[in-house]
Structure 1
Amino acid sequence: MSTWPQARPQAYRLLLVCAFLAILAWIIGGFLSVKDIQTLRAAVILSLLTTVSLAVFWYASRGDPAGRTLFILLLVSFGLKLFAAYFRFATSLLADAFVYDTVGERIAAELSRGTWSGLTGVTGTEFVQTLTGLVYFLTGVSLYGITILWAWFGLLGMLFFYKAFTTAFPQGDRRLYLILILLYPSMLLWTSSLGKDALVVFFLGMATYGAARLYRRIELSGALWLAVGVAGMLMIRPHITGVFVVSFGALVLLRPIRAGLMTPVIRLTGLILFALVAGALIRTAASFVALESLSAENVGEFMQVQQERTTQGGSAFQQVNPWTPLGYAVAVPTVLFRPFPWEANNVFALIAATEGLGLLALIVFRARSVWSALRNVRRDGCLLMTLVYALLFIFFFSAIANFGIIARQRVQLFPFVFMWIAYLGAADRERRNR
């Protein structure tokens, strides 16, 4: 009997790896032919990351029911993220990357001379600038190289989200979620450049994975993933940390505890400890965005300021008031789907509009899965966490009155929406259709 059918999956994987390495060799060859020191450094970084990626991807796909698909799509996503990085350079979609590069180069030079004065700030832009400088100090200055590194971090964040999904919803549609999280255009594009977006997706995915593991089982590894993810987010975007921590609190409330007569005591103690930690984190986030207090008045003033600051440029639009039921109802499609095609005033806006319509069509097509997920939030803490996160995210980011900024920021929301879309697996759909 032929052994080919048994060996075929391994053969496919080997052929794919060979094809991937051949394409990579061609890319690196292009880097090397330039004979520029920064480009050469980028080639070295790409070579090292490729070697590490093959090991990480193999380990992540080992034992996964969709392991072969996961491994293949990780390679494809890595290649597409390299193209996305090139596209952002070619079209000048680099946002603040040049600022981080310039400041990072200065910090690296000061470190080399031993004259660095230390951190000027520990959160937000200053943290990313310092991290850029530390990377440049270790690898040498290369904007291309650090862009590849940041794109790789973004890919790992997307992998963490997949692991979170399969941990929280093991009966969900793994392949559909894989396709969405690894191949969705916004996820590829906005997490493939030097900046905050790739890093925050990396740490947000890590924290979500830790939360999902803790919901299923109290364990040290889950707590470590959660702690590192939250700490990383706190350094980059503290306000996102506040949104995530509140949503994690919803998960804690629904987590089953079986300890007999001690159950109420354990739950109350845990809630008190969580409230103390969450309060400290939320105050840190509030101070980062210059909120004097968390009163409705101060939050409203902050959102008004954000609307005025972002109502600039060709992508600006008239914002709604999310404090009213009607205003919030309008804010939901604004954050998720806009700009609509008739609102697009340039090629990039038209691309974003097409993507938004695609997401809307997918939600309609998978309406049964989305409805099933939303209907079960009262029984599943992981679902409740995704819903609370989405509701808070939409509320606060409705303050942004610029389509360009919203299109970039909502990569921090899409992974949770994708979980609703992929919530029902094939077996669930067949059972419900009977």
Structure 2
Amino acid sequence: MEIVSSAYHVLSASFIFFLGAAISATIGRKFNVSPVKSLGLYGWHTFFSLFYCWYVLRSGGDAIAYFRHGLFWSGEIGVGTSAVRAMAALLVSGIGLSILGTFLVFNIFGQIGLLAFWGSLKEATQDKPWRIRWLATLIIFLPSVSFWTSALGKDAISFMATGLALWSSLNLSRRGLLMAFAIGAMFIVRPHMAGLMVTAIAIAALVDSNASLIKKVLLGIGAAGVAAALVPFALRYAGVGEVVDVESLTEYIDKRQSYNTEGGGGVDIASMSLPLQLFTYLFRPLLFEARSVFGLAAALDNLILLGLFLFGGMALLRGRKTGLGENRVFLWAYALGAWLILSMTTANLGIALRQKWMFAPMLIFLFISVIGRKRSA
């Protein structure tokens, strides 16, 4: 398979690249990121999109399968894999894009999520010492973030949804429509995570001490209604079934834990305790476990995240607060729920490296917002 095979492929890919640059510079302002920084981030993110495209053409991957389904689409429309296949069909068979052009489209989705993530971290660190602000920028430019969110597949869209949900939670009363869009985008590719988002909103509404009783009731009923519709659908999508009890959930977790336990990316998660499962999902591979350049890059990223979580955890234990007005209940409920569920049902470290970015931005925000002292005026 060629990366481009006609002049149209070159022209269309070039157009999408410059369109992405324009979108990045424009949307970046909405997240308080300057056009220059937005374009710099776009260049960085696009580099990983091009590298990922080259890599899958040499070594194979899910993106190749999605592209081929786009060439020979069966007409199936749905959520998850079916949704990505339908989008690929629109781009490949409908518009006639090459695999490079298709990658660049999904690169824009990931870039939007990254800008929203950056804007959220800028809010969290605007009054902090330069070292904390530098750390926030370093996290945005971690290779693993851009690599996994720049390719044809579910991860670019789910990361966009995560970034927008995080940004919306900083002022949920004024960004409710954006939160709804984020949930909708997540539902398209990972409906079970969208159901978890709605559940987290319902929890946040019920425990909000500043909301009136009427507002709590209305928000709670609305969120519970949406959750009641989404969660059963998400459970069926995930393979649990419509009737959920302890036995069926246990069987589902055991089945998921048995997947991909062999090979370079697999770990025997079924034999681990829950704390070790949580640690493995978010922070492995460690430096001494790296067996390749990719593994070393992932381990360095994980080392930075581990340090952030340790210092942030100590700050939380000391009772540090932010005063930013963000909906921390929603962030904690969604992030911890996602971390718990995914760590119990994922055995493959390669999958964990990608999917943890559906909730890691929330945890990063929660921890980085409480470390360091505010600068004096």
Q: 1:142: how far off?
A: 1.3
- CA separation in 1, counterparts of 2:60 and 2:280? 24
- Note if contact 2:201-2:223 (Cα within 8 Å) is conserved in structure 1: no
Three-state SS of the structure 1 residue aligned to 2:269 is: coil
Three-state SS of the structure 2 residue aligned to 1:299 is: helix
- Note if contact 1:245-1:278 (Cα within 8 Å) is conserved in structure 2: yes
* 2:284 is equivalent to residue 314 of structure 1: no
- CA separation in 2, counterparts of 1:299 and 1:178? 38
Which residue number corresponds to residue 83 of structure 1?
Answer: 47
**TM-score in terms of structure 1 length:** 0.75
- CA separation in 2, counterparts of 1:372 and 1:353? 29
Three-state SS of the structure 2 residue aligned to 1:213 is: coil
One of 24, 36, 55 as aligned partner of 2:26: 55
Q: 1:430: how far off?
A: 6.4
- CA separation in 1, counterparts of 2:100 and 2:227? 38
Q: 1:161: how far off?
A: 3.0
Which segment drifts farther, 241-250 or 401-410? 241-250
For each residue in 1:346-365, what CA deviation from the matched residue of structure 2 results, as whole angstroms up to 9, or x when unmatched? 33223222221222123335
Q: 1:274: how far off?
A: 2.0
Unaligned runs of 5+ residues in structure 2 are none
* 2:6 is equivalent to residue 40 of structure 1: no
- Note if contact 2:110-2:149 (Cα within 8 Å) is conserved in structure 1: yes
One of 383, 389, 392 as aligned partner of 2:334: 389
* 2:233 is equivalent to residue 284 of structure 1: yes
Return closer, same or farther for 1:372/1:382 CA change in 2, 3 Å cut-off. Answer: farther
Q: 1:176: how far off?
A: 4.8
For each residue in 1:78-122, what CA deviation from the matched residue of structure 2 results, as whole angstroms up to 9, or x when unmatched? 111121122223333763111111111234xxxxxxxxx74x231
Q: 1:130: how far off?
A: 0.5
Which residue number corresponds to residue 140 of structure 2?
Answer: 182
Superposition map of 1:226-245 within 5 A: 226-245=179-198
Return closer, same or farther for 1:157/1:371 CA change in 2, 3 Å cut-off. Answer: farther
Give the aligned residue type for 1:318. Answer: D
- CA separation in 2, counterparts of 1:287 and 1:90? 35
Q: 1:244: how far off?
A: 1.8
Aligned length: 368
- CA separation in 2, counterparts of 1:131 and 1:121? 10
Q: 1:178: how far off?
A: 4.8
- CA separation in 1, counterparts of 2:125 and 2:247? 39
Which residue number corresponds to residue 205 of structure 1?
Answer: 163
Superposition map of 1:246-261 within 5 A: 246-257=199-210
- Note if contact 2:149-2:155 (Cα within 8 Å) is conserved in structure 1: yes
- Note if contact 1:335-1:406 (Cα within 8 Å) is conserved in structure 2: yes
Return closer, same or farther for 1:358/1:210 CA change in 2, 3 Å cut-off. Answer: closer
- CA separation in 2, counterparts of 1:404 and 1:296? 29
- Note if contact 2:191-2:237 (Cα within 8 Å) is conserved in structure 1: yes
Which residue number corresponds to residue 346 of structure 2?
Answer: 400
Q: 1:256: how far off?
A: 4.1
One of 122, 135, 151 as aligned partner of 1:193: 151
> Taking every aligned residue pair, what percent have the same amino acid on both sides?
26
Give the aligned residue type for 1:271. Answer: G
- CA separation in 1, counterparts of 2:280 and 2:233? 28
* 2:282 is equivalent to residue 333 of structure 1: no
Return closer, same or farther for 1:105/1:179 CA change in 2, 3 Å cut-off. Answer: same
Which residue number corresponds to residue 16 of structure 1?
Answer: none
For each residue in 1:125-162, what CA deviation from the matched residue of structure 2 results, as whole angstroms up to 9, or x when unmatched? 11111112223355322110121121111010122234
* 2:300 is equivalent to residue 354 of structure 1: yes
- CA separation in 1, counterparts of 2:25 and 2:122? 21
Structure with bigger RCO (C-alpha 8 Å, 6+ apart): 2
- Note if contact 1:105-1:141 (Cα within 8 Å) is conserved in structure 2: no
For each residue in 1:4-62, what CA deviation from the matched residue of structure 2 results, as whole angstroms up to 9, or x when unmatched? xxxxxxxxxxxxxxxxxxxxxxxxxxx99x964423321121122223333333x336x
Return closer, same or farther for 1:362/1:294 CA change in 2, 3 Å cut-off. Answer: same
Superposition map of 1:79-118 within 5 A: 79-92=43-56, 95-107=61-73, 118=75
CA RMSD of aligned residues (A): 3.2
Three-state SS of the structure 1 residue aligned to 2:228 is: helix
One of 297, 309, 312 as aligned partner of 2:247: 297
- Note if contact 2:171-2:327 (Cα within 8 Å) is conserved in structure 1: no
- CA separation in 1, counterparts of 2:138 and 2:317? 18
Superposition map of 1:95-174 within 5 A: 95-107=61-73, 118=75, 120-137=76-93, 139-164=95-120
Return closer, same or farther for 1:306/1:105 CA change in 2, 3 Å cut-off. Answer: same
Give the aligned residue type for 2:153. Answer: G
Q: 1:388: how far off?
A: 1.9
Give the aligned residue type for 2:268. Answer: Q
